[in-house]
Structure 1
């Protein structure tokens, strides 16, 4: 079976997913094309032109299967390369632009939303990493299209997507989960961007400090040229409580996960949350907001109501009374052995 794997914005989680597909299905003859995760407005709209300029011969080959991320403008690509239309087309939504929070001062732009819609409509199977991702796309698309100037057949359009939708998370690599630890090391291992809401995290740590609660903190995760100022401001007052700061090479990152006790998310945007799953696999108890995708993956014992007060109260209790922490979720439920057959059915159609 010959397959074309397309990733138009190859962020870290997207590469992890693509690597997993190739490793888990070596019987498929994969050809992989991906573009670096920068210049987002151009990437999501211009990827067919970029690939036509760089990979024209590859795109015009005959494939049995095309697997693309939701940022690939699949409808345009199939129109420009008609041979792709004969392949089984699977689109994977790591995220959707209808539910992605905008930076302050930015207005919603139609182009990324329409790429998501047209790509989903052009696919034979549309895969989401969570039901929240699927539902927020359908809900957001309905709200968006209602505001457009023409009376569109919304039920017909959206039902076509819903009928071919499947929920399959990005699986984690197979490994034995580590046991929980009862120390006081708090972990942040998310992207240093506005949508991860770092202000809430550092405000909680400041409250713990004011109350005299002892803790250590490891602040990891991918960094970018522009980052919220709260990081540098918090580094100054956290002082000796910091055991690790900033983006780290893989071995150091893994060691920090192995030594941390509680992993916290305060995010305003999450469709699955691989960073939290990685930490749980290494023995960290998760504390996540009761919104977005988290109710699908974590029992109520791991979720705080979403407000600052509840976050701070739960974190304070877990630090001062380690026995009050819930046992770890079963990380094996997120690993490839639990999802390989379902992925095979989606990719091969049997």
Structure 2
């Protein structure tokens, strides 16, 4: 095996990426740790992989995520030092939200900086992720009392590039609500014809422009792994554009039928952790309840050992408005709920790509996201809000007029998206 894949937190989007790479690249092998106790994985996984990964003369490329302290692993396993090392950032710890700067654990961000220094290529899942990391390095290192290293951003930046996270969208047509299914049937033919002309235009444009944020590559194995990631990432762009054209074109009033009588269905499909800010989400829903506005809600997403108390409190006050509550282990069940929903909400304080939001858009949901983090890089301004009050006002309007969401044509801007 010439390509060595290592994942210290094999779950969620980390697992998705590694599985996609395994499917696309023939000559690779994966070593991983389960997605538990992230902090311990970040601290100690290098020692585990030192013993778990057998020596081999056939390895040429090492691909890993930034959870692993790559500098430690290379120091513990000198035989891996000669490999071409590709480091992938799903998130970065330099801008992780904490209530007080004293609460920030310096070691996690420091480990990521060290990993960048020993890597040959550093890949980020969005421009926001890359820029927020690189421009925060100098400030972050000021926490060192004295003898601070200098010029770290200038050393690391030339190694960096952006490859959007690759999502393989499933066929969800069998789960679609009636009005969404009619949209798909009515628009399929017109989309296919416009897609053909768009592809011709894209190919012409590609031939005349240089790739951005892309370091020069020489090694064939390194080319292969990055090209595979880019290939899958390209499918994300094409599938997402197909989704918003097929799913979000305006239907006639008659096509809505009984769907127009249903209360607005809101979905929140995120990890049950504080960095996704469930407190703000539930505060907005409480306001809708107090105003006696009709809506239903599905709260999905992964749960871990320490679940914020706000979830149990919200479950009580939401009462009969809850349609689904908790993690759905079946992907089919998960996508079915997304297909039944009207609006998908993010209240995140910490987001570098947002797989769940794009999966919901794939299923025909209207997105509402903060006007910050990665979201302005992906979604046009119409789907962004600046304050919880703005989010609340949008949802109040949609609760009163759910047909506005169900008839909406998604305004995508391909040149700014993927």
1:291 aligns with 2:372: yes
Deviation at 1:298, TM superposition (A): 0.4
Separation in 2 of the partners of 1:138 and 1:20? 27
Aligned with residue 158 of structure 2, among 158, 163, 166: 163
Deviation at 1:151, TM superposition (A): 4.2
Partner of 2:389: 309
Q: Contact between 1:62 and 1:84, CA under 8 Å: does it hold in 2?
A: no
1:54 aligns with 2:79: no
Structure-to-structure mapping, 1:1-350, within 5 angstroms: 2-26=2-26, 29-55=27-53, 57-58=54-55, 60-102=56-98, 107-155=103-151, 157-175=152-170, 177=243, 179-180=247-248, 184-250=264-330, 251-305=332-386, 307-322=387-402, 324-325=404-405, 326-328=408-410
Give SS of 1:63's match: coil
Unaligned 5+ runs, structure 2: 171-241, 249-255
Deviation at 1:61, TM superposition (A): 4.1
Residues paired across the two proteins, number: 330
Q: Contact between 1:283 and 1:328, CA under 8 Å: does it hold in 2?
A: no
TM-score (norm 2): 0.73
Change (3 A) 1:104 1:146: closer
Structure exhibiting the larger radius of gyration computed from Cα positions: 2
Change (3 A) 1:13 1:198: same
Structure number with the higher helix fraction is 2
Separation in 2 of the partners of 1:289 and 1:189? 15
Provide the alpha-carbon RMSD of the alignment.
2.5
Alignment deviations for residues 200-235 of structure 1 (CA, whole Å, 9 cap, x no partner):
111111111222221111111111222111111111
Separation in 1 of the partners of 2:101 and 2:82? 43
Alignment deviations for residues 257-280 of structure 1 (CA, whole Å, 9 cap, x no partner):
110110001111101111111111
TM-score (norm 1): 0.87
Give SS of 1:272's match: coil
* Segment of structure 1 superposing worse, 287-296 or 44-53: 44-53
Q: Contact between 2:63 and 2:86, CA under 8 Å: does it hold in 1?
A: yes
Deviation at 1:62, TM superposition (A): 3.6
Change (3 A) 1:193 1:329: farther
Partner of 2:203: none
* Segment of structure 1 superposing worse, 1-10 or 256-265: 1-10
Give SS of 1:154's match: coil
Give SS of 2:137's match: helix
Deviation at 1:54, TM superposition (A): 2.9
Change (3 A) 1:104 1:247: farther
Partner of 1:341: none
Deviation at 1:313, TM superposition (A): 0.5
